[in-house]
Structure 1
Amino acid sequence: MVRALVVDDSSVMREILSQILESGGIDVVARASNGYEALEAIEEHDPDVATVDINMPKMGGLELIERVMDERPLPVLVVSSQTERGADVTFEALELGAIDYVTKPSGEVSIDIWSKDQEIIEQLETIARIDEDRLRRAAGPTDAAASDVDASGSFPNDPTLIIGASTGGPQVVERVLRELPSEAGLRILVVQHMTDHYTSRFAQRLDEASEYNVREATDGDRVGPGDAVIAKGGYHLDVVGFPRGTVRVELDGGPKRHNVRPAIDVTMEAAAERVTGNLVGVVMTGMGADGAEGLSSIKAAGGKTIAQDEETSRIFGMPQRAIETGDVDMILPEERIAEGITNAFRGWSA
């Protein structure tokens, strides 16, 4: 049985979250109203996992996460509000080592959190299995120097890259985009499992970190050389055409796939069908099976496929399922994914 600590300054939220976890068979061993109480509870009860609110008195969630990752690494699920400020601090929490987040549907104290009960339970059961080495890597510096990716040589015409990621993905996606050479002139589509209110801020962060022009996808958007779009939360990113060397996309509010929207498979399968240039697909850290069928479609269409390796994936679920299909060309650690993408495209021009 997973043993959990619930940290929130609201007694109502502590009670609701505890009820949710216990309804899913998770043992709530302690509750805390601020970071100081949480540190004491961790010392006394040695939980497997914790849910942590960000805005708390005395010691807030960011300081708590930083201290936990430094002193006693523990898988943390952030419970955050659906605001621009909430998105910013959630990304800060992920950079400090938190594994994933769940949003409060309607404000700081939200009984609507019950609508997320299965999501919360599944996330906690999954992240509780992350070992200490992966936790320490997750809490490592995010401003490390980029890998030395060779940008010399020629690249093929019309190169299109589809990246899919879920739990643990934001930091890896940022690293990969930061390291990809602008000289390659890639057209990049990123499908990160992420809720609305967060994808626009995620796109802004990537734009600041990368030499590519990164934006949240809009309906009818056209992605040309040097552009990258992020699938908008709550919509599948459908590839509907490839006119004059640009990838044309539309936002699709249709049924969820793998219980998520946006789904990686939707974008990859559409790209495999409609993109006529050179195509590479990448599936990175995350739980579930999304992306496996999409990579197989890209492979069948003559494209090249990459999966993140087990050692550097926070959650190996999606890459593992992709690898099991037998349609993955390269299995690479986080620090070599940008290099692998670059070499895959360069191979077409050799």
Structure 2
Amino acid sequence: MNKKKVLVVDDSAVMRELLSSIINQHPELDVVGIAANPNIARKKIAKLNPDVITLDVEMPEMDGVTFLQNLMQIHPMPVVMVSSLTKKGADITLRALELGAVDFVTKPDRHDEAGIENFSNEIISRVFHACEADVAAVESTPRQRLTLPNKVAKSKSTSVPTGLVVIGASTGGPQAIQEVLCNLPLDCPPIAIVQHMPPRFTQMYADRVDKVCNISVSEAQDQDKLTPGSALIAPGGMQMRLSRTASVIRAEVTEDPPVNQHRPSVDVLLDSVIPITRHMPVMSIILTGMGKDGSQGMLKLRQSGAHTVAQDKATSIIFGMPDQAIKLGAATKVLPLHKIAGEIVQWWASIQHSAKELVH
């Protein structure tokens, strides 16, 4: 059995040792080298040709993002960022994901035994799956924007929603979600999103996406209304459900336990939407990500009459979640990433047209 070769890049000797010992526990992973800074890393990449790199976000001499940017231009390969939970660490990590990093893990508190155990499981899982990531999918996806973001202040619509879109994603999702949302016009249905991310990151991610999109994008708070022309992203470390009362759809954000080992969980969101399908058209989308979260929920939604879409393999960083949905028969359509925004626009237009015909 050929083990996957891993290069660990971190300026902390303690972290290099910890990461190496954790990763080497997996029978199919082998840490073939360590590097204390990007200059050493560059030489070791040329010599060792690793399958995946773990990269510290904040390093002296050259930060992880600058190194990643250079690496992706010269020698694209799967990279897992290792980040602190600080605001600065989160901001740099999100930038790294935009530049092509496959995934990230957050460093635990050294005194938190449960946190260290969880970190061990996370780093092994994410590094192993990163080996299978298609980094070419990031570059090969045609990027086009339907309309440029308005520079005027955004105001949320007060109109009653006549349709609803729900989106689930994991690994590779931050880039994919931004690609979809930035190609939507202001006249679009309300959107609820679960992206597997830890606390703090979802707030900063929503703010970043909001700045480059026509629509309003924000982290959901309990009892937030879903309105046309806006998207709510489930907070990291919380579960999000939707409920409908008197034509108003609201987000319910709770500390309920993880489902499918995730909080937020895509299945939790999608299951909550099933009753809403009795009152309005619903579109459900599963984007790139590892695992199977969302596949069962999307199958139930399809059986309830929802229009369901899975991202195709060619444009997925990790095809796990869409693949599971497709295999279950949950997807009405399988589309490349760059066609999903157009599918939403077309679906929304058909709903509006049908509503007008009913009035007349």
TM-score (ref. length: structure 2): 0.88
CA distance, structure 2, for counterparts of residue 219 and residue 106 of structure 1:
28
Residue 77 (structure 1) shift: 0.2
- Output the amino acid matched with 1:71: I
1:311 is aligned to 2:310: no
Q: CA contact under 8 A between 2:144 and 2:183: conserved in structure 1? A: no
- Pick the aligned partner of 2:272 from 270, 289, 303: 270
Listed one character per residue, the Cα deviations across residues 82-117 of structure 1 (whole Å, up to 9, x for unaligned) are: 01111110011111111000011238x998544311
**DSSP 3-state at the match of 1:182:** coil
Please point out which of 252, 255, 267 is paired with 1:253: 255
Question: Are the aligned partners of 2:134 and 2:316 in contact in 1 as well (CA < 8 Å)?
Answer: no
The aligned runs of 1:125-204 (5 Å cut-off) are: 125-131=128-134, 133-134=136-137, 136-137=139-140, 144-147=143-146, 158-184=162-188, 186-204=189-207
Unaligned 5+ segments in structure 1 are 150-155
Task: Give 2:358's aligned residue.
Answer: none
* Pair 1:84-2:83 in alignment: no
Distance 2:94 2:128 in 1: 22
Match of 2:233 among 204, 213, 230: 230
Equivalent residues of 1:187, 1:247 under 8 A apart: no
Picking from 25, 30, 44, the partner of 2:33 is 30
Aligned to 2:58: 55
CA contact (8 A) 2:183 2:341 kept: yes
SS in 2 for 1:223: coil
Q: C-alpha displacement at 1:250, in angstroms? A: 1.1
2:18 to 4, 12, 16: 16
Relative to structure 1, the CA distance from residue 132 to residue 165 in structure 2 (aligned partners, 3 Å threshold; closer, same or farther) is closer
Q: For residues 135 and 159 of structure 1, do their structure 2 counterparts lie closer, same or farther at Cα, with a shift above 3 Å needed?
A: closer
What SS class does the counterpart of residue 179 from structure 1 fall into?
coil
- Provide Cα deviations, 1:217-256, integer angstroms capped at 9, x if missing partner: 11122212222111010111011x2124331121122221
Identity over aligned pairs, percent: 37
Q: Are the counterparts in 2 of residues 73 and 135 from structure 1 also a CA contact under 8 Å? A: no
Quick one: distance in 2 between partners of 1:323 and 1:192?
19
Find the aligned partners of 1:197 and 1:22 in 2 and give their Cα distance: 30
Could you tell me how far apart the structure 1 residues matched to 2:334 and 2:298 are?
A: 13
**Paired residues of 1:30 and 1:41 also in contact (CA < 8 A):** yes
- The separation in 1 between residues aligned to 2:302 and 2:174, in whole angstroms, is 25
Q: How many residues align?
A: 337
In the alignment, structure 1 residue 119 sits paired with structure 2 residue 122: yes
CA contact 1:279–1:303 (8 Å) conserved in 2: yes
Give, as a single letter, the amino acid of the residue that structure 1 aligns with 2:92.
V
Cα deviation 1:54-104 (Å, max 9, x = unaligned): 211222211211121111111100000101111110011111111000011
Q: Deviations over 1:116-153 (max 9, x none)?
A: 11111111111112345336448x9xxx541479xxxx
Q: 1:157 to 1:191 in 2, by over 3 A?
A: closer
Query: Partners of 1:148 and 1:211 in 2: how far apart?
Result: 8
Q: Shift of the alpha carbon at 1:282?
A: 0.4
Alignment correspondent of 1:152: none
Partner amino acid, structure 2, of 1:260: H
Q: Does 1:321 align with 2:318?
A: no
Report what 1:153 is aligned to. Answer: none
What letter corresponds to residue 48 of structure 2 in structure 1?
A: H
- Give the aligned CA root-mean-square deviation in angstroms: 2.2
User: Cα deviation per residue 1:292-343 (whole Å; 9 max; x = unaligned)?
Assistant: 1111122122110011000000000000111112231111111100011122
CA contact (8 A) 2:286 2:311 kept: yes
Instruction: Quickly say closer, same or farther: Cα 1:15–1:114, change in 2 above 3 A.
Output: farther
- Structure 2, gaps ≥5 residues long: 149-159, 355-360
The answer to whether the 8 Å contact 2:184/2:345 transfers is yes
Structure-2 change in CA distance of 1:224 and 1:131 (3 Å)? closer
Mapped pair 1:2 → 2:1: no
Could you say if the C-alpha distance between residues 254 and 190 of structure 1 is closer, same or farther in structure 2, counting changes exceeding 3 Å? same
Distance, in Å, in 1 between the alignment partners of 2:346 and 2:23 is: 45
1:330 is aligned to 2:329: no
8 Å contact kept, 1:82–1:106: no
Bigger Cα displacement from structure 2, 209-218 vs 193-202: 209-218
Residues 162/243 of structure 1: CA separation in 2 closer, same or farther (3 Å cut): same
Is contact 2:52–2:79 with CA below 8 Å preserved after alignment?
yes
Amino acid paired to 1:146 = R
The 3-state SS of whatever aligns with 1:183 is coil
1:208-227 to structure 2, matched below 5 A, reads 208-227=211-230
- From 39, 43, 47, the counterpart of 1:44: 47
